Every structure is written in structure tokens, then in C-alpha cells.
Amino acid sequence: MSESSSPRATMSKPEQHGMTAVVAPRYGSSDVLRVEEVPRPTPAPHEVLVRVRAAAVASGDVHLLTGRPYLIRLMGFGVRKPKDPVIGHDLAGEVVAVGSAVTSFRVGDLVYGATGFGAFAEYVCVDEGTLAPMPAGLGFEQAAAVPDSGMTALQGLRDVGRLRAGQSVLINGASGGVGSFAVQIAKAMGARVTAVCSTRHVEFVRGLGADRVIDYTTSDFVEDGERYDVLLDLAGNRHLSDYRKVLTPEGVFVSSAGAPGGDWLGPVLWIGKVVVTNLFVRQTLRPLLMKPRRADLDFLTELAENGKLRPAIEREYPLREAPAAIAHVAEGHAQGKTVLIVSRTGASAPS
């Protein structure tokens, strides 16, 4: 969810050819996806056209593909079928054209960031405010893995959780896309990190820098007697009273997940419970809704370039195998990030 000082670039229009894209003609599972030739988009005044080199699969892609909870269909995403059939949020690539009002980028710049839709394609138009120059030292695949999960972790810990150096933080669901970034960001902020995950992820999470790792299949973090200043919940698998029990008297609970609320409302009821309960307790209970922001990408870039943040990629798939990649993430047990390789040719990653 600082602006570059690059001089205004001149509008550049590539030839209007088609492109390969992953299309969802209707709502459903990954089985409905098709890889098709579609028209190449043209950037609006504040957009840049990016030739996508790599894209990452986020949990939000799964929700938008299925159209569940149904409430999201009423929020502008399309009632009967996706309004924007080319899916995908996170990307890294090369700027090939810029809108007439763009001031931050020029043709040839290597960028990474997030868009509302369209990243699972050879080209996508992206608002310049949700892009940033690629971090030095990261390849396209690594850079594409950062935006959605990295900004969610950062905003959850720093902005909502108000985590400070020396505090203790519990990350519930530490092995997934957001969790793998949250562990590293919390350590970079100087916190003492306790991470919760399953047995097969314990060594992976410990390798991310967690001070303590709890295997939830053998131990219960609610009953072990520890108390935390901040709890970032990415799993949504416990009662609100359980989360409150492990917080200090003035601790902060940050919810980026919630108990299932059915096909219609999804997490809305859970969010309402968190908000209402917050009115009557000393602890702070807050939901997390990530908003893509250039400043946050710049913050993550600095961490990456200083060696404090490295994307953890479990699997890579070619673009044409996007349905398999999304099915893997939809299972709910992915370790770190899953990335699509769109193109390996042309411009190289920065060194």
C-alpha cells in the first residue's frame, strides 16, 4: 500500500500489437484460467507501460479469481464475471512507454511494484505511484516477490502495530508470503521475534532470523506463558480471546486474516468483531488493509540493498503454467513466495 526526481519523460507509444496474458473469463478455481493473446494496453497520463519480466502470486489473486467472498464482486470487481479478466498484482520489469503526465520514470527504467490487475501478462499499465526502481542486487524474480507481501508486512508491523526496537512480536503464520517478510522486517526494526509455523517450515523460518520458532503442531503459543507487545496474525486460526491472552496489557493485535465468514461476507464479521472489541479493552486491536505506496517500496528497497531483506521464493513457473502456480498458492501451505517467469530475454537485472 518520496518521489523520484527523474526528469519528465517524453510520451512513447509502442506499436499496437497483441500480447500473451493469463485471462479469467469467469469466476472459479484456477481451472477457469486461459492463456490467450489479448491487445497490448496503452498507458493513461499517470501510468507507465511495463514489459513484465516476472510476476508473483498473492493470496489476493486467489480471492479475486474465485470471486469470494461475494462482497468483493459488489466492490467494483464485477458481479457476474471479473471486470478486469487479466489477473495479477505484483510485478517487476522494464518501462517501455510512459503517460504524458509521468514524472518519475523514463523508458528503459527497471521497476517493481503493484497494480490492481493485469500483472500476469507480457505488458501491463501501472500507476507511477505504486512503482519504484528495482533494488540493486535483486533479480526480476526476487523483486516481483516483494510488493504485496512486503508492504503488507511493513504496514502491519510499523504503521498498524507501531512496533519499536526492543519490543517483542509474535508472527502467527510466519512461513507464508507475508510472514516470511514480516520476520525479516521485524528483525530489521530491532524487535525480538517469535514465529509460529508448522513442522516442515521450522528450519526455513529460523533461517529468516526468528529468535524463537513455535511449531504449532506440538506447542500452543497461547498456553506457553509468553506475552508480546505486538501480535501480527496472518493465519486467522484462533479465537480473539486467545490472541488477547498472549498480549501485554497495552499490546497491539494486528489482524491480516480472520475466521471464515461464509461465501457472502468472508472476513467482514471478523473485522467488525475486532473493531468493536477494541472500543472496550485496554489493548489495541486493529484490522490490516494494505495500501500500495511508493514510499513503502522505497523503504523495502533500502532494506534489500542493505542485506536485511531477501525474498524467499519456493517455486517458479513459466507464465503459461500460471494456473498451476495459483492452485499451489490456493492450497494454503506455500512456503514463501510463488513466482511466474514471464520473460528472461532483453534487459538484465541491475547489479
Say whether pLDDT at 13 is over 60: no
Contacts of 296 (CB under 8 A, 6+ apart): 1, 150, 151, 154, 155
Name the band, by pLDDT with cuts 50, 70 and 90, for residue 1.
Answer: very low
In one-letter notation, the amino acid at residue 253 is F
Is there a domain that residue 304 lies in?
A: no
Per-residue pLDDT at 10:
39
Is there a domain that residue 322 lies in?
A: yes
Q: Which CATH number goes with the domain that contains 332?
A: 3.90.180.10
Say whether pLDDT at 150 is over 80: yes
Is there a domain that residue 295 lies in?
A: no
pLDDT in tens, 257-287: 865 655 656 678 889 999 999 999 999 999 9
- The percent of residues in the chain predicted with pLDDT above 70, rounded, is 89
Shared-domain flag, residues 118 and 153: no
Is there a domain that residue 10 lies in?
A: no
Per-residue pLDDT at 67:
78
Number of domains into which the chain is organized: 2
Is there a domain that residue 3 lies in?
A: no
Shared-domain flag, residues 278 and 334: no
Say whether pLDDT at 348 is over 90: no
Name the band, by pLDDT with cuts 50, 70 and 90, for residue 59.
Answer: confident
The answer to whether 88 and 76 are in contact (CB under 8 A) is: no
Say whether pLDDT at 112 is over 50: yes
Shared-domain flag, residues 221 and 258: yes
Shared-domain flag, residues 142 and 155: no
Say whether pLDDT at 192 is over 60: yes
Shared-domain flag, residues 113 and 165: no
Per-residue pLDDT at 72:
75
Q: Which CATH number goes with the domain that contains 247?
A: 3.40.50.720
Contacts of 15 (CB under 8 A, 6+ apart): none
Name the band, by pLDDT with cuts 50, 70 and 90, for residue 216.
Answer: very high
Q: How far apart are CA 66 and CA 330, in angstroms?
A: 10
Q: DSSP letter string over 296-312?
A: HHHHHHHHHHTTS----
Shared-domain flag, residues 157 and 277: yes
Per-residue pLDDT at 347:
42
- Which position has the higher pLDDT, 66 or 104? 104
Task: Tell me the pTM.
Answer: 0.90
Shared-domain flag, residues 254 and 198: yes
Per-residue pLDDT at 156:
98
Shared-domain flag, residues 182 and 114: no
Name the band, by pLDDT with cuts 50, 70 and 90, for residue 249.
Answer: very high
Shared-domain flag, residues 138 and 159: no
Q: How far apart are CA 293 and CA 309, in angstroms?
A: 18
Lowest mean pLDDT among 32-36, 61-65, 99-103, 108-112: 61-65
pLDDT in tens, 295-308: 999 999 999 999 99
What mean pLDDT value characterizes the chain?
90
CA distances in angstroms from 267 to 16, 71, 231, 258, listed in the order given: 42, 10, 18, 6
Shared-domain flag, residues 153 and 282: yes
**Mean of pLDDT values over 147-165:** 98
Residue 69, preceding bond cis, omega within 30 degrees? yes
Q: Is the dihedral of CA 110, 114, 115, 120 positive or negative?
A: positive
Shared-domain flag, residues 283 and 335: no
Is there a domain that residue 298 lies in?
A: no
Per-residue pLDDT at 239:
94
Domain end among 244, 272, 287: 287
CA angle, 293 as apex, 315 and 39 as ends, to 5°?
Answer: 65
State which residues form the domain around 168. 149-287
Is there a domain that residue 349 lies in?
A: no
Name the band, by pLDDT with cuts 50, 70 and 90, for residue 78.
Answer: confident
**Mean of pLDDT values over 81-88:** 87
Is there a domain that residue 123 lies in?
A: yes
Shared-domain flag, residues 175 and 59: no
Per-residue pLDDT at 152:
97
